[in-house]
Chain A
């Protein structure tokens, strides 16, 4: 093979979509390497949209790959997605691996590459002229005719490169090496390494693909000087010269630099087929770089359509109260996701695969919620070497370490500690009226492992420990509240979860996933006469089995059982409910409840079908049956989702379903609430269209209507109970309506730009018991506009921005005040609930990332600037002591967070 042969024509590289599963379009989501000045090839890489080609390449010659013997014997089948560079003559010039086979290490990748080098195509054309293009090609290894492996693969066609054939007798490896990515030390699998030289009148060249470990070997190279070239797509070409000496072997390690280390280049989009009306999925790499969250993975959820802005880390979805939405960890419930009520999430980015968000009409697999769902997906570890990162910011320091477990698994550990305590202790002056005995401090620890002994069996384990602590000593407790009895205030929140997952996939017709989660949640608050001690042990079992019956029908069925055992000792005022302002917090009227060894077993079963009525029309009928132990009630919740692909770029969708959840813990407590309450109910209805006019551009418009009833509502009514009058406190007489529309324009990476625009128009109204008028929900935000954009710059710079324009939150005005001479403070008298509204909110956040690539590690720095133009946004209203004066309470000012990250 000549040197010129090794130089791929990159002047006009195209990405295109081909039909019938032969060639899958991938290219437009990638940013191609730009050769450095003086690099081979000469031309600038060009991105060409498939639609502008006048002719796509068609395969004219197919060569069957040799089936790896070991895999054949074990009955293992696999797909390899190849990257083929096709010349303007239709020849395969280069073969790379876009997605290696699963399981790795069986030889599928190498076999597919050898075969693909012999493929031939009719050239692609643009404006009638043949051009070189790059395509992706799925090579599927299937055992059908049981052809015995070991047959000689089809001979390569003219001009194709072949692996140098090992001599029949005793071949000798005299040049071997490892190809690894500079910085990350990830082995580069499936890359063709070329050695060549001018040998008199004839150029001589050989190629060898790297295996899964990035290793390559050449046999019996003639002594002398050989030029070496490795030019994987997306990387700068690597060239060097090696001198072969007779009787000696060369072992080399080559570090190949990726053209760009921006996170969007390496995102592997696992395009799980869409089955929901609305679902937003962001991979961990994307999440990490969204501005405004200081690298925190879960704050990004607030940028999605349908999610209201919230300061406290609450999840407010389509107008629902925060407690109506649920966070899940791989499908199992978790009690908290944030340290200190929103400061930072308990999950480091390293252990996450993605975040999936469903604003409504979610699958029957999910339940016990009438709002939305966020499912945090844990990473499937596939480390090929020991690696990790250390992340240092102004808030905390975290470390993450992952390592392979043989060839079939991986293990990761992560830990984090905040040092707000140190900063605050320095900031609090000696003569301040408070002392931080234990300043705010949080820790978390994670252990994640997965092991796949065979393709049919996948085992995963995860352990999470989280701890928050705070203790304040007051010089004068009466400065807090005249009724406050004590001089300390302490809060500790500790929880842990272990999660075991076993996934059984014997074939493509059946799959079963079983999850067992167990843990303990402990919350302790002590402050004067206030006390809150809650200790819950919980175990959850989820099992879901999916069976496929032909191409048109699949059925998923499962069970979801949640057991809890609770001890609690609580002395607090009645907590403010929806519509009640938190300023009406009366420390004089405390309620105590003492709970010992209370047990609850919430069980549920669900079934969901997937029916392809037509090739383009998919229906997902399902039902979930819940038994709510605390309220001893049942709920049958039918749900239906439909998706109809009207054209390759246009899909219509719709859904309707019933959703139920139990009242809050305090609401059914006999001391704090009404034990006779029933579950709340919601009917979700939504419909919309998705348009994808370009591979990198999509529009999603969804209208929704949510009807709520049986809502828990405060009431002043009294009831006779055991011959005595008592206040009912709550009943199920609340109703509500939420309606609106969401528009999302998403721009995947193209022309170095990625991001989305999300606009939500909504109205959330409710009617309480004993009150004839409708009013706004506490979290009604009529207009929510979020624009998120990231621009990839050369030299591993990345600039991101987020702009938000949101209606102000409703608030209840204070119209008068009465001096309470007993408590020595003024009691506010409120006007109509939520009849006023804060000023509109707008804020711009920026983030700048820079990475420096070294031989074995990567050093990164980021600057996250929140509220760039220092807008004093209203976050509520504050009043003077007698409520005769008021002003807008403002949110965070300009805030700059600097962080460093070292990856290895």
Chain B
């Protein structure tokens, strides 16, 4: 870094201001007067799972979306695609390399996966890209992780566009890391076995059918069944690029159709936030004036910090407040 001057740190200070604003919860989505992020009212794509999480060369991964639709609505169409190098989010992730350009880069290979991955409920992606080519591109960007972070594989971008019968449309993107070396450890999707609610002092399993009744306008403890033995350890890199043993972090996002949860998200961070706190939340469904239906769905999506994702959902009946 070149020498500095004390009067010209404004750019960093601007970043500081933004960081402070972020901490104060004034960034987009945190404002009063809007529905909270985790209340399900219309078409939403809540997650896309890839299995395996990061395909190795010549491996095929299956992409499965978690879609929410309100009662009475249905998916009208789905469209899958992928892109090896997309533009910035502020421009909607435009694909910056055409299929012809990719073919040229790949030396005229004819077994490259087409950008169009179909319109099925799930999509398959065949990792047929040359590992040497990916390694070469990643090596050129080794000092620019913000541009191309290849630690877990080459970051291709998958896009899913969902339209509903009611006319809503949601475009969703996610990174699909394409491994190109054996040094890149495979990751497993996390596991969540189900949901429970603490009713009258006992755990009740929340299933697909609304067999459990929760009181409206009352905080009820809900738990996600996340086994602690499936949390993985892996070798990452520290700020200096040196190998570092790490424990996966888990972020649980709690979605409900009615009311609010105490936290929209909970997290397991090794030695900071314990798992028993992360898997527990409180849910207060709305009263009948705000939510006339007598059942409500609850969904929990669990993400690790290496693209792994899993989910569980269920339905509860809503009863009068005690």
> Hey, which bits of chain A sit against chain B, CB under 8 A?
312, 322-323, 326, 333, 335, 341, 368, 433, 472, 475-482, 485-487, 489, 491, 521, 523, 525, 527, 530, 532, 534, 536, 538, 562, 564, 566, 568, 570-577, 580-587, 589-595, 598-600, 602, 629-631, 661-673, 675, 724-727, 816, 818-822, 824-830, 878-883, 885, 887, 889
A-chain residues with CB within 8 Å of residue B25 when the two chains form the complex: 479-480
Q: Which of A564, A669, A825 contacts B1 (CB 8 A)?
A: A669
Query: Is A575 within 8 A of B14, CB to CB?
Result: yes
Interface residues of B in 191-225 (CB under 8 A from A): none
Decide yes or no whether B230 CB sits under 8 A from chain A. no
Does chain A have a CB within 8 A of B163?
Answer: no
B residues whose Cβ falls under 8 Å from a Cβ of A = 1-12, 14-23, 25-29, 31, 33-37, 44-45, 47-48, 89-93, 140-141, 143-147, 149, 170-175, 239, 249, 251, 253, 263-267, 269, 272-273, 301, 303, 307, 309
B263 touches A827 (CB 8 A): no
CB distance A575 to B7 under 8 Å?
no
B12 and A570 contacting across the interface, CB-CB below 8 Å:
yes
Q: Do A368 and B239 touch across chains, with their CB atoms under 8 A apart?
A: no
For the complex, what is the distance from the CA of A478 to the CA of B272, rounded to whole Å?
Answer: 13
Instruction: For the complex, give the distance between the alpha carbons of A527 and B16 in Å.
Output: 11
A536-B4 contact in complex given A476-B265, A818-B92, A881-B34, C-beta closer than 8 Å? yes
Contact of A326 among B7, B92, B172, B265 (CB under 8 A): B7
Q: Given contacts A666-B11, A819-B171, is CB(A880)–CB(B34) below 8 Å?
A: yes
Given contacts A664-B9, A887-B31, list 13 more A-B pairs with CB under 8 A.
A477-B267, A534-B9, A564-B3, A570-B12, A583-B28, A585-B18, A598-B1, A600-B4, A629-B5, A675-B2, A724-B143, A822-B174, A824-B303
B14 engages A576 (CB within 8 Å): yes
**Closest CB in chain A relative to B241 CB, distance in Å:** 10
The answer on a CB contact under 8 Å between B28 and A878 is yes
Q: What B residues does A662 contact at CB under 8 A?
A: 5, 8
| A595-B25 Cα distance, complex, nearest whole Å | 30
Taking a contact as CB atoms closer than 8 A, the residue among A335, A477, A629 that contacts B6 in the complex is A335
Q: Are B9 and A821 in contact (CB under 8 A)?
A: no
Known: A534-B9, A663-B8, A664-B8. A482 touches B251 (CB 8 A): yes
Collect the chain A residues with CB atoms within 8 Å of residue B12's CB: 532, 534, 570, 572, 575, 664-666, 672
Bound Cα distance from A581 to B34, whole angstroms: 21
Complex Cα gap A577–B18 (Å): 11
CB distance from A787 to the nearest CB of B (A): 30
Q: Chain B contacts of A570 at CB under 8 A?
A: 12
- The 8 Å CB contact of B2, one of A323, A472, A668, is A668
Chain B: minimal CB distance from A670 (Å): 5
Separation in Å of the B149 CB from the closest CB of chain A? 8
- B29 near A476: Cβ-Cβ < 8 Å: no
Least CB distance from A826 to B in Å reads 7
Q: Is the CB of B2 within 8 A of A585?
A: no
Q: A-B contact count, CB below 8 Å? A: 260
Q: Which chain A residue shows the least CB distance to B272? A: A487
Residues of B within 8 A of A595 (CB): 1, 4
Of the A-B pairs whose beta carbons lie under 8 Å apart in the complex, a sample of 13, sorted by A's number, is A341-B20, A476-B263, A478-B266, A479-B264, A481-B22, A573-B146, A575-B14, A591-B146, A665-B8, A666-B15, A822-B175, A829-B92, A879-B34
Decide: A480 and B23 in contact? CB cutoff 8 A.
yes
Q: Do A480 and B22 contact each other (CB < 8 Å), given the known contacts A574-B146, A818-B89, A881-B34?
A: yes
Interface residue from B34, B147, B149 paired with A885 (Cβ < 8 Å): B34
In the complex, what residues of B have CB within 8 A of residue A820's CB? Answer: 89, 172-174
Q: Is the CB of A816 within 8 A of B29?
A: no
Query: What is the CA–CA distance of A599 and B140 in the complex, to the nearest angstrom?
Result: 31
Given contacts A818-B93, A828-B90, contact A670 B6 (CB under 8 A): no
Most B CB within 10 A of own CB, among A326, A479, A598: A479
Cβ of A571 and Cβ of B2 under 8 Å apart?
A: no
A323-B10 CB under 8 A given contacts A478-B251, A887-B31: yes
A525 to B145: give the CA distance in the assembly, Å.
22
Q: A595-B1, A824-B303 are in contact. Are A727 and B144 (CB under 8 A)?
A: yes
Q: How far is the CA of A30 from the CA of B37 in the complex (A)?
A: 62
Q: A880-B29, A885-B34 are in contact. Are A667 and B269 (CB under 8 A)?
A: no
- Complex interface: chain A residues within 8 A of B172 (CB): 818-821
B33 to A887, Cβ gap below 8 A?
yes
B92 contacts across to A, CB distance below 8 A: 816, 818, 829
**A824 near B11 (CB under 8 angstroms)?**
no
Closest beta carbon of chain B to A665's beta carbon, Å: 5
| Complex: A562 Cα to B4 Cα, angstroms | 11
Please name the residue on chain A nearest to B37 by beta carbon.
A881
A480 to B173, CA, bound (A): 21
Q: Which B residues are in CB contact (< 8 Å) with A629?
A: 3, 5
- The closest CB in chain B to the CB of A675 belongs to B2
Chain B residue with Cβ nearest A830: B90
